[in-house]
Structure 1
Amino acid sequence: MTVEHRLGTEHGRPGYDSAVPPVLRIRPGTGERIAFETDDAVYAELHDHGDLAALEAPINPVTGPVYVEGAKPGDALAVHVHEIRLGDYGWSQSLPGAGALQHRMPDHVVSRRIPIDAAGVHLTERHVVPARPMIGCIGTAPATGQNSTVMPTTALGGNMDLTDVAPGATVYLPVEVEGALLSIGDIHAVMARGESSFVAIEAAGVAVVSVEVIPDAALRAPRVETDEEWIFVGLGDPVQESVRRGYEDVFDHLVDERGWDRMDAYAVMSALVHSELGGPTGSEAPDPLHPFRAVGAVTLHRLPKSVL
């Protein structure tokens, strides 16, 4: 695959911030491919030292930002994911105070280096599974302040950790600043939906994408399009609020954007639009004393294209 632009890990940093100068400017809609290289330095440090307090590498750095010519507030970026290339290994790690198994795992870092080769991802000596690479962290910059690349997920994206953000998918991200300022990071070799463990099979890699601008899209949260589905992201606290907002977005898409009868939309959604928990990072900033404790919820609402 031809790649017109390559961004190395030297352009990686934590956070989405409009004050950070863009490292690349592109014209949207040209089909030009951009390769975002991401690193695994924090996981290598944890493997070697086993101490969160001794980390020097940032958690979830994102590579960028990329300035998209013509993108303005109220628009959306359509980010087409063409390819994700993985290295020779990834990491499985249990972090103290993080994830749904924190009361079952030890109260210190446990790390395993996971080989990746043509046979697949070697989780254990007898469990080798196909790689299903995905992008965990993708988003645009806020008009003010800085959005996290760990938690929470925001209306502009961030650490969504969605298995659907994989080759063949298109991610739609709201734009809040001129040029959008797109950044990408946190590649996984394979991840169970929801990432309840908080850390899946993390890996260094390269995500190859192209970008279009959707004028006046007025999205209030990211969306993902695959060959089979439209996936609407809900954000809110508590989880019921996240479900309501994401489900409303599906309904409004059918009624307002596609002209469906309201009762038709209601009946089809009740029967066929599945809701589920998204990534583990929540929709509100966590307690500073417990930085891995999610507040609120990310939910997903799956509209099959077969009904459209």
Structure 2
Amino acid sequence: MNMQHRGGSISGSRIHEIKAGLDTVQWGAFDGSTKPVCHVASGDIIDIECLCHHAGDAAELLMDEAIRAIYDGIPEETRAPGVHIITGPIYVEGAEPGDTLECRVLNMRPRLKYGVNFAGSWGLLHEAFGAKEHVIVYEADINAGVARAVYQYEYDSPKRAIPGRYTKVDPAARKPALEGFVVPLRLHFGTAGVCPAADGPISTVPPGPHGGNVDNREFVAGTRMFYPVQRKGALFWCGDTHFAEGDGEVNGTAIEAHVNATIQLVLHKGARGRNPILETAEHWICHGFNEDLDEAVREAVLEMIALLQTEWGISRMEAYSLCSVAGDVRVTQVVDGVKGAHIAIRRDMKR
């Protein structure tokens, strides 16, 4: 790995707190002109509040006073060009284009115990379901490690294009949902990353080399994502948090929920990959992004080949072989315009 850690001792890290508020969140955009909400050194730890953009679908369960103030305080016409609420940016001292920013997820916990799955018009099978949009509200049971459905209802407003709108639903229209079923909890970031190199507001919807809306359900506590730095200071945002998600995210969303997280940002001088790399206790996971899913898969495999060459000193053909005989290629998501794929390889294969 051609990188060197820069900064003070990790054990001597400073701790910062970033609460979600009108002055610390953006709705729908990464924008390099945004004033940083916090300056950190490499190795610093940040307690950060992250919000979902679907709280209006069950406001009585998914809003507290501070969340409602954000929903009421950000004009609808400014929630663009994307849809997600992200907290930041965080300026990392010493970060320059060509470096790598590592985000270690130390802890994730629900702010409120409810979340929403929204079957949207952008979902894979929207037309097959009669072009109907649909909501299921879930309740998290942290002690049991599962979520259970609370109720469901159809959503047919023509104004869904505006993110975060309050949904008015007759209580009689709410029906029981998935009685007797549980969904394993996997609290994770749907959207996180550094600021893209391009100027102006950049949509939070498509993922890319900067990260963004990667929607990898493996990005849980105990894992670390490595991002190619695009701008001075890196300018890191995170948000769009989830209780659970399946690979593919086929109906349009995960269980969208508010999550408070503790992260550690570590700067490495030098590049590691062209796209974000996720490292878990057992695997390296490389990503590919393209409107064509075949091309997204191809890009992910090429990224993994390059990583294995660097990490293990093997030839390109040897790395290609390992990708075929031991790599697991998965579809990250198919609903964000730019599709995502990833490939996972065990880190303990070289002995």
Q: Structure 2 residue aligned with 1:140, among 194, 206, 217?
A: 194
Match of 2:282 among 220, 228, 232: 228
The 1:168/1:235 distance shift into structure 2, 3 A limit, reads: same
Residues 1:89 and 2:101 are matched in the alignment: no
Q: Is 1:302 aligned to residue 338 of structure 2?
A: no
Counterpart position of 1:121: 147
Stretches of structure 2 lacking an aligned partner (at least 5 in a row): 1-12, 61-74, 150-177
- Runs of 4+ that moved beyond 4 A: none
Identify the range of structure 1 (268-277 vs 226-235) with the bigger mean alpha-carbon deviation: 268-277
Partner of 1:291: none
Pairs aligned (count): 285
User: What corresponds to 2:331 in structure 1?
Assistant: 277
Q: 1:179 to 1:3 in 2, by over 3 A?
A: closer
Q: Aligned in 2, Cα 1:3/1:101: closer, same or farther, shift over 3 Å?
A: farther
Among 322, 326, 330, the residue aligned to 1:268: 322
Q: How many percent of aligned residue pairs carry the same amino acid?
A: 29
CA distance 1:216–1:222, shift in 2 (3 Å): same
What is the TM-score normalised by the length of structure 2?
0.75
Match of 2:41 among 27, 45, 58: 27
Contact 1:242 1:299 in 2 (8 A): yes
2-side partners of 1:263 and 1:107: how far apart? 46
Does the Cα contact within 8 Å between 1:66 and 1:183 map onto a contact in 2? Answer: yes
For residue 165 of structure 2, what is the aligned residue in structure 1? none
Between stretches 189-198 and 113-122, larger displacement belongs to 113-122
Query: Shift of residue 305 of structure 1?
Result: 0.8
- Structure 1 contact 80–168 (Cα < 8 Å) conserved: yes
Instruction: Map Cα deviations across residues 46-85 of structure 1 (whole Å, 9 max, x no partner).
Output: 3469xxxxx9494311000000001100001000001111
Contact 1:155 1:222 in 2 (8 A): yes
Q: Which amino acid aligns with 2:148?
A: H
C-alpha change, 1:44 and 1:301, in structure 2 (3 Å) is same
Paired residue for 1:242? 296
CA-based RMSD: 2.2
* 8 Å Cα contact 2:192-2:239 kept in structure 1: yes
Counterpart contact for 1:78–1:214, Cα < 8 Å: yes
Change (3 A) 1:266 1:98: closer
User: How far apart are residue 8 of structure 1 and its match?
Assistant: 1.6
Q: How far does residue 111 in structure 1 lie from its aligned partner after superposition? A: 2.1
* Structure 1 pair 180–105 and aligned structure 2 pair: CA distance change class (3 A): same
Instruction: Answer with 1 or 2: which has the greater Rg.
Output: 2
- Give the equivalent residue in structure 2 for 1:205: 259
TM-score by length of 1: 0.85
Report the alpha carbon displacement of residue 281 of structure 1 after superposing the two structures with TM.
4.5
Residues 285-296 of structure 1: pairs in structure 2 closer than 5 A: 294=337, 296=338
On the 8 A contact 1:137/1:158 being kept in 2, the answer is yes
Cα 1:94–1:264 change in 2 (3 A) is closer
Determine if contact 2:289/2:340 at 8 Å carries over to the other structure: yes
Q: Which runs of 5+ in 1 are unaligned?
A: 50-54, 283-293
